[in-house]
Amino acid sequence: MRAAPSPALPQQTAAEQVRSVLARAISLSLTVDGQTYDLLGAHTVGARGRITLHPPADTPLSAHLARAPFEAPGVRVDLTDIAPTALRDRVRARVALTGRLVPAVPGDPGALRLDLARVTLRTGAGTEDVDPAAYALAAPDPLALDEAALLTHLADAHADLVSELVVLAGSRLPHGLVRALPLAMDRHAVSLRCEYGEGHCDLRLLFPAEARDAATAGDMVRRLLTAPRCAHHHDHR
């Protein structure tokens, strides 16, 4: 579904998006020598985005990693960013990080660090390679950890407010809207997914000022309804 292009909006860089996905991810998939393992709660993200895996003991994965040639290419970590609200298509982004595994602590095979070589971000806008140096220097969005709670609260407790936010798009939003739900939120804006009988478009509403935390994000959403109409923009996909 297409509409007139919107003005460029302040938004997270690709590196910040990747760091935000990692900050809130509780699961990932690890591919070693062409074999994929799903891990839940078995990784940590440290300074500069360093990913450390903590493979469960006495599992096929642990046995595989014990004999895996870590110097060889093909070690990949995949993460999927899922919207917390009940959208038709809840996948917002996919992140792939490739490199090799090395002991996180010399002499201790229990934890393994990903020695990063490549970072790829895939969203509805396309696929982008992220410079590993930019990834290391970036920080997660300040709302990354609170985003799910903010969006579900907006959807569950303030459906009327969501409807009022949709009105801000005015006549530029295509007719035939079936429903609208919160899609994403970062320090710059809140995004709504506007679903139609076929397809959807995403409405991104720029905050009057950057949100520093969850409390100010809630205030920014309310202030959107009183901001000058020219301050609102949207992105159709």
Query: Which H or E run includes 122?
Result: strand 108-123
Query: Residue 102's pLDDT is what?
Result: 85
Query: Residue 113's pLDDT is what?
Result: 92
Query: Residue 73's pLDDT is what?
Result: 47
- Asked if 184 and 190 touch (Cβ cutoff 8 Å), the reply is yes
The pTM (predicted TM-score) of the whole model is 0.90
Q: What is the pLDDT along the chain (237 residues), one digit of tens a residue?
A: 443 334 467 899 999 999 999 999 999 999 998 899 999 999 999 999 999 999 888 888 888 877 765 555 469 999 999 999 999 999 999 999 999 988 888 766 688 899 999 999 999 999 999 999 999 999 999 999 999 999 999 999 999 999 999 999 888 899 999 999 999 999 999 999 999 999 999 999 999 999 999 999 999 999 999 876 544 555 544
- Asked if 119 and 97 touch (Cβ cutoff 8 Å), the reply is yes
Give the pairing type, strands 200-206 and 91-105. Answer: unpaired
Structural domain spans, the chain: 14-137, 147-231
Tokens of 156: 């569950």
Name the CATH superfamily, with its identifier, for domain 14-137.
Answer: Electron Transport, Fmn-binding Protein; Chain A (2.30.110.10)
Query: Residue 71's pLDDT is what?
Result: 56
The yes or no reply on domain 147-231 and CATH 3.20.180.10 is: yes
